Amino acid sequence: MENKQILLASRPNGVVVPENFKLATAAVPEPSKGEMLLQTIYMSVDPYMRGRMNDVKSYVPPFQIGEPLQAGIVGKVVKSNGGKYPEGTYLTGMGLWANYMVTNGEGFQPVDPDLAPLSYYLGVLGMPGMTAYVGLKGVAELKEGDQLFVSAASGAVGQVVGQIGKNMGCHVAGSAGSDDKIAYLKDELGFDEAFNYKTQDIHKATRDANPKGIDVYFENVGGPQLEAVINNLNFNARVALCGMIAVYDNKLEDMPPGPRNLAVLVGRSVKMQGFIVFNYPDLCKEWIQVGAGWLKEGKLKYRESVAEGIENAPTAFMDVLKGRNFGKQVVRLAGD
Say which amino acid occupies 245: I
Measured from the CB atom, is 111 or 242 closer to its own copies? 242
Using the rule CB under 8 A, give the single segment among 101-109, 152-160, 250-258, 281-289 that binds its own copies: 250-258
Using the rule CB under 8 A, give the single segment among 9-17, 161-169, 189-197, 222-230 that binds its own copies: 222-230
Among residues 86, 252, 298, 335, which is the contact residue for its own copies, using CB under 8 A?
252
Strand, coil or helix: 283? helix
Among residues 13, 32, 64, 279, which is the contact residue for its own copies, using CB under 8 A?
279
Q: Is 256 a residue that touches its own copies (CB under 8 A)?
A: yes
φ/ψ (deg, to 5) at 98: -160, 155
Among residues 268, 299, 301, 303, which is the contact residue for its own copies, using CB under 8 A?
268
As beta bridge partners, residue 196 has: 176
Among residues 112, 262, 296, 336, which is the contact residue for its own copies, using CB under 8 A?
262
Q: Is 283 a residue that touches its own copies (CB under 8 A)?
A: no
- Distance, CA of 221 to CA of 259 (rounded, Å): 12
Say which amino acid occupies 334: A
With b for 16 or more beta-carbon neighbours within 10 A and e for fewer, the 131-165 pattern comes to bbbbbbbbbbebeeebbbbbbbbbbbbbbbbbbbb
Measured from the CB atom, is 237 or 292 closer to its own copies? 237
Q: Is 12 a residue that touches its own copies (CB under 8 A)?
A: no
Q: How far is the CB of 270 from its own copies (least distance, A)?
A: 5
Q: Is 212 a residue that touches its own copies (CB under 8 A)?
A: no
Size of the site for its own copies (CB under 8 A): 37
In angstroms, how far is the first alpha carbon of the chain from the final one?
17
Instruction: Kindly provide the residue ranges of all beta strands, DSSP E only, lying in 131-228, ordered along the sequence.
Output: 147-150, 171-176, 193-196, 214-219
- Distance, CA of 66 to CA of 60 (rounded, Å): 18
From residue 50 to residue 69, the character string flagging contacts with its own copies as x (rule: CB under 8 A) and all else as - is -x------xx----------
Using the rule CB under 8 A, give the single segment among 83-91, 150-158, 169-177, 269-277 that binds its own copies: 269-277
- Distance, CA of 107 to CA of 94 (rounded, Å): 7
Using the rule CB under 8 A, give the single segment among 4-12, 242-250, 308-316, 327-335 that binds its own copies: 242-250
Among residues 9, 94, 265, 334, which is the contact residue for its own copies, using CB under 8 A?
265
Q: How far is the CB of 274 from its own copies (least distance, A)?
A: 4
Please give the full DSSP string across 91-136, using - where no structure is assigned.
Answer: EEEEEESBSEEEE-STT-EE--TTTS-GGGGGTTTSHHHHHHHIII
Write out the residues near its own copies by the rule CB under 8 A: 51, 58-59, 222, 226-227, 231, 235, 241-244, 247-248, 252, 255-263, 265-276, 279
